[in-house]
Every structure is written in structure tokens, then in C-alpha cells.
Amino acid sequence: MTAAHALRTSLEDLASVLESFQFAVPGGEQATRERGRVELVRSIREYLLPRLDDPEAPVVAVLVGPTGSGKSVVLNSLAQEVVSKPGALRPTTRSPVVWAHRRHVRRYRQLLTDLADSEGGAVTGEDPLTEQLTVIDAPDFESVYSESRVVGEQVLAVADLCIFVASALRYADAAAWEFLDQIRQRGLPILFVLNRLGPDPETRKMILGDFAALLKDRDLLLEADPSLIFDLSEQVVYPRNGGLHADAVAAIRRELALISDPALRRAVVRQSTEGAVAEVIDRAGVMAQGIETDRGIVQTLMTMAEEAYAAELLDAKALIANRSLVAPGATGDRIGIERELASALSRRAGVAAREAAAAWDATGEGNALLAVDETLWRHGPETPALAEQEAAAWLDTLDEALAGAIRRAGPRRKASALLARTLLTGEGQPVEGAAAELANDERWRGGVLANLEDRLASVLAVDADRFLVLAGRMEISEGLPQTIRSLTAAVSDKAGQFYA
Ligand SMILES: Nc1nc2c(ncn2[C@@H]2O[C@H](COP(=O)(O)OP(=O)(O)OP(=O)(O)O)[C@@H](O)[C@H]2O)c(=O)[nH]1
Ligand SMILES: [Mg+2]
């Protein structure tokens, strides 16, 4: 297996694992993590793997820079035809436009299907420059239309090279610089173009020097040397080609042609893939950590719910012991006492639910989850039916306890209902001797009340499950961070061999 093949396989494995889960806990930070995961997969699948598979593919240069800086004009000037419509309305380019050789355009079909709307698309020809180079005019990244920023980032994910076009009229805008930092982190080579410079030589020199100094400050240029910047004068934009005279961009064309030289291109591709692999390694580490954070959040939410229900179970047990689980004055007949006991069990579940929901509500994620299921503030919709079953079953155990002493069903039911009332509220002494005996038998009473506690516990547990299931649905499996870390280590290892 060649070093290139080993690197590809390790990246492929990492991508598969990153595709196997989602960050589903609601909240802003988690949404950012999920976006990060999607981008990471994309940069592996759509950039790195194809690029490593086919190192001879053309270099992809992406035009970046603030809206209105003249990116489309620069592209048209290179092509000497209207590839991307320039315009006075901002932003003009809303969807990526690809300028590619007829022979290569199929490579970008996927990207275009994913990203381009009716305005975007591919313009193909046989310009010799495009034999080895494809240029993409991307929507500007600082756009108020955040959609376009997302598109911009997706285009950037497939770039080998950036052409940053700034306008001399407003080159110091902060937003564009923020984006440049991101590009620099990816290790993409950047070509700088300063457009629309005025004719006065002194002012030009000053502006170019200032621009170069800004770039140097940001670690984007090694030296604050204006000669490293391609300067374009403010001049006629020809309606015929939507660009400048060919001479104006001759130097840029020459530079791009140089990069397209196969040997140099391999070096560019090497630099950009090496940067991208390093970024993948970094970001995969962030993912692994994100999973741990997310798991921590899910665990906290689960614990909050469990604790609320556990506390309620304790309180309710105390009520049972005090004979105040059911309100005094409860009717003594079987139907009445059964209904009161059932509603007391549901009510306890309702109290626990409210406590658990209040605890969740105080956290950002819990608050968002409560919005998904508002019934969490009350006992579950199925709880009353379960409580009725448990109440009836418990009363049946009293009935059975009297079966030896009282043969006839009618009187026995009556006696057991009275016994229940005594046990639950302390009122009304059983008339029948057998029931009275049981009521005064400490051991028996302890057992039958413990049985009631168990039934209460199971009603609460089923009710609590709603919280646990909802939180559990967001949970990412425990072993995943470790899997991601070891796959990332493999990528790092293979990259070390490949780029050695
Ligand atoms: N006269 C003149 N106009 C220019 C020059 N460069 C750019 N423009 C004009 O400036 C405006 C913006 O240029 P575009 O090329 O559309 O800018 P862009 O960077 O592609 O902008 P977005 O697509 O919105 O990101 C257009 O109206 C261009 O005609 C120039 O050198 N001379
Ligand atoms: Mg444009």
C-alpha cells in the first residue's frame, strides 16, 4: 500500500465514523458543533479524498473578498468574456460560478448541483490557462445573507488556492479579514489583488504599502512588501466582457500559469492538502471533545430528572408512613378508595415531573428540550391509567389477605376497602375482626405498605422515563470519542509518512 493510499484509507475511516452520529442536543453551541461536524466530513469527502485520488486534477482557485471589491470583474478579465456578471447591486454574485476547461468541468458537477441556483453555473471553454486551473467566483463570505456565507465556506472547502480581491476604496473592512484568518488556518496559498487604485503614484504607493502592512500584521504575508500584491488601476469595465483590458491582468495570468505548471501544481496541492489534513486532525479532536461535552450535558439532564423523582419518592414514602398520602375523609367503599389512591399516585408523579422540568428549565439545553415536549411539566399522559392499575392491584392484595377469614366476596370487599382506608388515612376502624387484626399487625402492615411503596416507585419510574428517553435520544455512544481519537492518530501517522 502506497503512503498516499494509506492516508486516503485513514481519512475515509475517519469520515465514516464522523458520519455515524449527530450532535442533537439543542442549543446554539451544539448547533455550531453539528455544523462543524458536517463541514469536517465535507472537507474530507469533497476535497481531500478526491484531491488525493487525483493529484493531476486542475488547481482550484477561489476568488474571495468583500462584496463589490471586483471579484467578478477580475474573473471576467482573466477569461476575457462574461463568466460572472459584475454589478452595482450588492451582493451581485449569489451563487458560485465555475470557470473551467471543457474537459474538466464534470469534476465540478456535484458542487454545482449542491450549491448553484439558476444564476450560478459553469462557463467552459478552451482557454489554455484552464487546462491546469479552474477558477470559482464565490459569493462573498461576509455577506449579511448568512446563507451565502455557508455557500462560501463550502466552496472554500474545495479550494487549493485563493485569490483575495480587495478594493482600494475599502480594503480595511474587518469581516473580510476574519475570513482570511480562516483561510490561513487551512494553509491555503493566497494571491492578493488590490483593485481600483487611483492614478496618483504617491497615493498608490501609500495604499499598497498600508495594505501590505495589514497583511503582514495578520501573518498573511511574510514581508510587508507591496510588490507581493497584484495592483489593478481603476479603469474601464468593458460591457462586452464584463472585465478589464487583458493587459491589466496579464501579471495575474502569468502567476496563475506558473502555479499551473505540473511540478509547481503538485507543490501547491501538497501544501493545500497538507494544511487541510492538519485542520482535519485539529477539528476531529474538537469533535471528540464535543461529544464528551454533549454526553456530560445529557448525563446532567438525566441526573436532574432522576434526582427530582427520587426526592419525590422519599417525600411520598413519608406521606405513606404518616398516613397522609390520601386526603382524610376518603370514602370508605372500594371504588372510592381505589380512585383516591390512584389519583394520589398520579399527583405524586405530577409533582415529580414539575420538579424535574423546573430543574431542566434552568439549563439552556433543558429549556430547549421542554419546548419539544411541553407535557413534561405534568405527569405523563399514560400515568393515570398505570396508577389505576397499581391502586387496584394493591387493593386486591388486601382483599386476598382477608380471603381466609371472610368467605363471601361482598363483605370481604367492604372490609378490605375499610382496611385500606385505615392504612392510608388512619381513619375508620375496620368492623370485622379479621381486618382489625391485620390492621394492628405491625409486620403485616409493614409488608403491605412496602408493597404500596413499590407500586408508587414503579409509577414514578415509568413517568420519569419520559425525561430519560428524551435526553437519551440525544446521547452519543460512549466509545466514540476514543474511536475518533485513534482514527485521527492514524491519519496523523499516515500524513507524517505521506508528507515526509
Ligand atoms: N469602473 C470600474 N468599475 C469597477 C472596477 N472594478 C470593479 N468595478 C465595478 O464595481 C462593481 C463591483 O464589481 P464586481 O466584480 O461585481 O464585485 P464582486 O466582488 O464580484 O461583488 P459580489 O459579487 O457582490 O461579491 C461593479 O459595478 C463593477 O463594474 C474598475 O476597475 N473600474
Ligand atoms: Mg461578483
pLDDT per residue as tens digits for the range 66-111: 888 999 999 999 999 999 988 877 677 778 899 999 999 888 887 7
The pLDDT confidence band at residue 331, using thresholds 50, 70 and 90, is confident
What residue ranges do the domains of the chain occupy?
A: 3-290, 297-481
User: Is pLDDT above 90 for 47?
Assistant: no
Higher-confidence residue: 142 or 30? 30
The Cα angle at residue 166 between residues 36 and 128, in degrees rounded to 5: 85
What secondary structure does DSSP assign to 426-440, as a single string?
S-S--SSHHHHHHHH
pLDDT at 385: 98
pTM recorded for the entire structure = 0.69
Higher-confidence residue: 150 or 281? 281
- Using CA atoms, how far apart are residues 378 and 246, in angstroms rounded to an integer? 73
Q: Is 96 in the pocket of ligand 1 (CB under 6 A)?
A: no
User: Is pLDDT above 70 for 266?
Assistant: yes
Query: 3-290 in CATH: which number?
Result: 3.40.50.300
Q: Is 170 in the pocket of ligand 1 (CB under 6 A)?
A: no
Output b/e per residue, 176-187; b: 16+ Cβ within 10 A. bbebbeebeebe
Ligand 2 centroid to residue 199 C-alpha, Å: 24
Determine which helix (DSSP H) or strand (DSSP E) holds 489, and give its type and residue range. helix 480-498
The Cα angle at residue 198 between residues 195 and 200, in degrees rounded to 5: 140
The pLDDT confidence band at residue 21, using thresholds 50, 70 and 90, is very high
> Are residues 382 and 462 in contact, defined by beta-carbon separation less than 8 angstroms?
yes
Ligand 2 centroid to residue 67 C-alpha, Å: 7
Give the rounded distance of the alpha carbon of 17 from its chain centre: 15
A 10 A CB-CB count for 440 gives: 12
- Using CA atoms, how far apart are residues 433 and 427, in angstroms rounded to an integer? 17
Tell which one of 90, 117, 237, 244 to mutate to probe ligand 1, the residue whose CB is within 8 A of the most ligand atoms.
Answer: 237
Ligand 2 centroid to residue 264 C-alpha, Å: 28
pLDDT at 303: 98
The pLDDT confidence band at residue 144, using thresholds 50, 70 and 90, is very low
Classify the phi-psi angles of 219: left when phi > 0, otherwise alpha if psi is within -120 to 50, otherwise beta.
left
Q: What percent of the chain has pLDDT over 70?
A: 95
Q: Which three cell numbers stand for residue 495?
A: 500524513
pLDDT in tens, 301-313: 999 999 999 999 9
- Using CA atoms, how far apart are residues 340 and 344, in angstroms rounded to an integer? 6
Q: What percent of the chain has pLDDT over 90?
A: 64
Q: Is 94 in the pocket of ligand 1 (CB under 6 A)?
A: no
For the segment 477-495, the average pLDDT, to the nearest whole number, is 97
User: Is pLDDT above 70 for 430?
Assistant: no
Average the pLDDT over each of 173-182, 361-370, 384-393 and give the range with the smallest value: 173-182
Output b/e per residue, 85-119; b: 16+ Cβ within 10 A. ebeeeebbbbbbbbbbbeebbebbeebbeebbeee
Strands (DSSP E) along 104-233, which ranges?
A: 121-125, 133-137, 161-167, 190-197, 229-233
For the segment 207-233, the average pLDDT, to the nearest whole number, is 91
DSSP character at residue 144: S
User: Is pLDDT above 60 for 480?
Assistant: yes
Higher-confidence residue: 234 or 178? 234
The pLDDT confidence band at residue 431, using thresholds 50, 70 and 90, is low
User: Is pLDDT above 80 for 179?
Assistant: no
Look up cell 484552464; give the residue.
130
Share the mean pLDDT of the chain.
90
Ligand 2 centroid to residue 234 C-alpha, Å: 17
User: Is pLDDT above 90 for 439?
Assistant: no
